[in-house]
């Protein structure tokens, strides 16, 4: 029974969305050319924002990877340095 209600809700949601989008386009106070220009400009703006966000994420990832490599190198050197120093403390036989 709940599956039927979910399908009904989803169908109503889609129909409402289509009706709302259609009424907005029909009742818009600007011409179709103005609307297309506005949509195109917004698309260009969103593309630039996405490119900027991607570049920032890529830069942050590279910084994080470099930091992790440095930490890993320090952690792997530390035990080997300790073993070398311990080896020097062993008296000669």
- Whole-model pTM? 0.47
pLDDT of amino acid 70: 92
- Distance between CA atoms of residues 66 and 74, nearest Å: 12
Q: What does the pLDDT read at residue 58?
A: 92
Task: Give the CA distances from residue 76 to residues 71, 73, 80, 83, in Å, rounded to whole numbers and listed in that order.
Answer: 9, 5, 7, 12
User: CA 74, CA 67: separation in Å to the nearest integer?
Assistant: 11
Q: How confident is the prediction along the chain (93 residues), in pLDDT tens digits per residue?
A: 456 666 778 788 888 888 888 777 777 777 778 878 888 888 899 899 999 999 999 999 999 999 999 998 888 876 655 555 555 555 555
How far apart CA 12 and CA 4 sit, in angstroms, is 12
Q: Residue 92: what pLDDT?
A: 56
């Amino acid at each position: 029974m709940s599956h039927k209600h979910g399908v009904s809700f989803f169908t109503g949601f889609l129909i409402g969305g289509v009706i709302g989008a259609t009424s907005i386009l029909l009742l818009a106070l600007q011409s179709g050319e103005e609307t297309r220009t506005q949509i195109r400009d917004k698309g260009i703006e969103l593309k630039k924002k996405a490119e900027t966000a991607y570049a920032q994420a890529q830069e942050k990832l590279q910084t994080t990877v470099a930091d992790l490599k440095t930490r890993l190198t320090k952690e792997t050197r530390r035990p080997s340095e300790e073993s070398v120093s311990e080896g020097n403390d062993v008296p000669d036989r």
